[in-house]
Amino acid sequence: MADLEKLVEQLSALSVLEAAELVKKLEEKWGVSAAAPVAVAAVAGAAPAAGGAAEPVEEKTEFDVIIKDAGPKKIEVIKVIRQLVNLSLTEAKTLAETPDGKVLSAVGKDAAMDAKKKLEEAGAVVEVK
């Protein structure tokens, strides 16, 4: 386990720009958004002020990226899969050839849409659920 005190000291030494870059990298790696909880809290906080208005419909926050077909440029699709997830060449090839194979599971909307875009640019048919 990491030495948490040392980690806190290192993080405290970051400039504002470095901290913002760290947040961005963590959001990308984990497929989350640091702004989402703030937005949800703001919406939840506004509901009582509205005089007991109906509960807001909860927006889906986790998405799966599913490859339907690798398409004609399978090698390009395999390269993109390897960029998105840490798989060996053989595992990425198997995933590309598997109909309805999950490339990413339970990721944020931005990460899912980014992955879909990259896979489609490589020639794959992709679905985000």
What are the φ/ψ torsions at residue 15 (nearest 5 degrees)? -75, 170
- The domains located in the chain, with CATH, are 4-49 (no CATH), 63-128 (3.30.1390.10)
Could you give the 3-state DSSP secondary structure of residue 88? coil
Length of the chain: 129
d(CA 32, CA 90) in angstroms, rounded, equals 28
Which run of H or E residues covers position 48?
helix 36-49
Condensed to tens digits (0 to 9), the pLDDT of residues 52-83 reads 555 666 777 888 889 888 888 889 989 998 88
Reported as a single tens digit per residue, the pLDDT across 8-27 is: 888 788 777 777 777 778 77
Distance (Å, rounded) from C-alpha 15 to C-alpha 21? 10
Q: Using CA atoms in the order 49, 50, 56, 59, what is the torsion angle rounded to 10 degrees?
A: -60
